[in-house]
Structure 1
């Protein structure tokens, strides 16, 4: 049975250290060396970014965040996602038709370090 104090170790399973971070309103599981796509960040290509909203790292669960834990990464690319089409239509006598497109901006980040 897991301990309720926020720390849980299972001696039978050995995994590389991973963390769960919160960015852009989403929770993402990351490992060292992993490349992730997140909502657009205000950083140039090649810059280092630090995520301090760490929800879980090395068996420690935050309430809501783990104190002192950070995940560091390097921005590799700024870009836009695939285009989606939004169509609005009212089937009455009025000729209300609207077509709109959207491309969500994103940032590609390579995780370089996880500090617990």
Structure 2
């Protein structure tokens, strides 16, 4: 464990807070867009261009949020990949056994006799 890494409970709390914030932002964006779409038939001229600018600003904010989430997920995936690589180097036989067991389990699930296949008929 790296002493500079935050506590795992802190990471879980931060992830939960980020998910909550994302959900709230997505709900607010959906509500704002629904309101905007409801007003669209009655808008004319300048109001349409204002609504368009509002929509584009909200869409850009949503895009920025998604970009930050993507960055966070990519960083987490890189950390997980490093942990797996480190584990495989420390415990090669145990990792090989887990991979073999997982392969057997997936093979059994995919090739079970009751499974129907599509013949194209």
Say which structure is richer in helix: 2
Q: TM-score, normalised by structure 2?
A: 0.17
Say which structure is richer in strand: 1
Larger Rg: 2
Q: TM-score, normalised by structure 1?
A: 0.18
Q: Which has the higher contact order (CA 8 A, sep 6+)?
A: 1
